[in-house]
Structure 1
Amino acid sequence: MSKSHYPYPPDEFDVRGPEGTPVGVHREPRSGWSSVWPFLLVAVVCGGIAVGAVSFLSDDGDPTPPAAEQSAGAGAEEPEASPTAEAEGDEPPADGETSEEPADEGEEEPADESTELPGDPAAANLEASVMVFNDGAGAGQAAAGQGVLTGDGGFVDVAATDAPDDLRGAYEDTTVLYGADRADTASAVAEALGVDPANVQESDDVTASEQAVWVVLKSPVG
């Protein structure tokens, strides 16, 4: 470049050396911004990288969005009963409507005991032989039963004694046993002594004996 086109004034760098070449090259002084902006650029880039890394790591640690958690919690709540539905369930039946309630089976009227007897007491043979056995009813109860049958019962052939070994303890309640074709007479005996019709039973042992009816007393008469 010729000196006529050199835009700068002469200085120490224009002094020629021993070999005729310039000692240095003239350089324009640099501004302060040209020295600072590279550092600012590096700081901005590093800051952006740091923010992105923190955001990425935080997203991996909590994969469920808050909105999804709230939706899941709301779905687990049990629905509340409608006050209107509860009120409707307590309304009394309208006029003319009847409430369907099951009948109380415990209030059934007891059946007539006379219909449960195996025979007809009015058709009894009052002259048939009857034996009264005392099986733990207490002293003198066989004779007491004899007295009831011959008195109010109207029987004429009644004997009283203690129960033999084969009858002792065989029954839990006072029982009337009768032979074949003696159901009417046994029913009259049971009615006179107040024996439960369920304890009036036919017995082959009585059929084979000389008596028509046996009474096994387990409790006092009357």
Structure 2
Amino acid sequence: MTKSTYPYPPDEFDVAVPGGAPVGVHRAPRSGWSSVWPFLLVAVICAGVAWGGITLLNGDPGAAQAETPGASASPDPSASASAPADPAASASPTPAAEPPAPTYPGDPAQANLAAVMAVYNASGQQGVAGSTVEKLQGAGFTGEIAAETAGDEMVAANPANTVLYGADRADTATAVAQALGITNLQESEDVTDSAQAVWVVIVTPIP
């Protein structure tokens, strides 16, 4: 169609552009790739955002794998090795020193088993003197043994089980003390002046 026979007045679509390219509805048709690639770009961006979000929520697997060897590493042999035992610490404790054996003034083998004696009950319990007499008789003493109650003066003077003996009666007193398990022996003028050879003062009953 020639310009002289075109029935319409010219408009912006009829204006020529540099290079001779058409404008408006007169542009050349676009290729299929040019209309598809924007959607592909959006899909790639969305996939990247989704992957990044999942990685942040679950943590970095690479970091977890990197930390695993350190956590499962075998312990240092020098740290797990037992310390050498201290000879001083492992040695058996030193036994406590035993108390010295009691000393007695006489020889029990020279005791007079027929000597006259008296047992004084200073415990405040009934029957203590009588039971002590029976123990002495069971130990082989055959002489007369009186069972008495100790007076206040004797109780005050003897706070523990005591064997009082007269002069030259140490052997008999030693035999009496060993038979009853008494370690406190004293020579007494009162016993020397009495008719007995030995007095036994019982403060704590002898089992």
How far 1:111 sits from its partner (Å)?
Answer: 3.0
| Pairwise CA distance, 1:150 | 1.1
Conserved? CA contact 1:137–1:217, under 8 Å: no
Partner of 1:201: 186
Gapped regions of structure 1 (runs ≥ 5):
1-91, 99-103
Corresponding residue number in structure 1 for 2:97:
108
SS in 1 for 2:136: helix
Per the TM alignment, residue 152 of structure 1 is displaced from its structure 2 partner at its CA by 2.0
1:131 and 2:126 matched: no
Amino acid at match of 2:188: S
More helix by share: 2
Q: Per-residue deviation at 1:184? A: 0.6
| 1:167 aligned partner | 154
* Residue 214 of structure 1, aligned match among 172, 193, 199: 199
Counterpart pick for 2:128 among 141, 147, 151: 141
For 1:66-77, what aligned pairs fall within 5 Å after superposition? Answer: none
Q: CA deviation at 1:206?
A: 0.7
Please give the secondary structure, in 2, of the residue aligned with 1:167.
helix
- Cα distance in 2, alignment partners of residues 128 and 187 from structure 1: 13
Aligned counterpart in structure 1 of residue 169 of structure 2, from 172, 182, 187: 182
Q: Is the 8 A contact 1:145 1:221 kept in 2?
A: yes
Q: Which consecutive unaligned segments of at least 5 residues does structure 2 have? A: 1-84, 89-93
Cα distance between partner residues in 2 of 1:211 and 1:156: 10
1: CA distance, partners of 2:139 / 2:168: 23
Distance 1:220 1:137, change over 3 A: farther
**Structure 2 SS opposite 1:205:** helix
Q: Is the 8 A contact 1:177 1:200 kept in 2?
A: yes
Q: Give the corresponding residue for 2:109.
A: 122
The residue identity in structure 2 corresponding to 1:193 is L
Q: How many Å apart are 1:120 and its aligned residue?
A: 1.1
How far 1:168 moved relative to its partner?
A: 2.7
- What is the rounded CA distance, in whole Å, between the counterparts of 1:127 and 1:111 in structure 2? 31
| 1:137 to partner: Cα distance | 4.8
Deviations 1:160-217 (A, max 9, x none): 0101343132211111000011011001111111112xx1111111111111100111
Q: Is the 8 A contact 1:178 1:201 kept in 2?
A: yes
Q: Distance in 2 between matches of 1:137 and 1:174?
A: 13
Give the length in aligned residue pairs.
123
AA at the equivalent of 2:185: V
8 Å contact from structure 1 (residues 172, 218) kept in 2: yes
For 2:157, what is the secondary structure of its paired residue?
Answer: coil
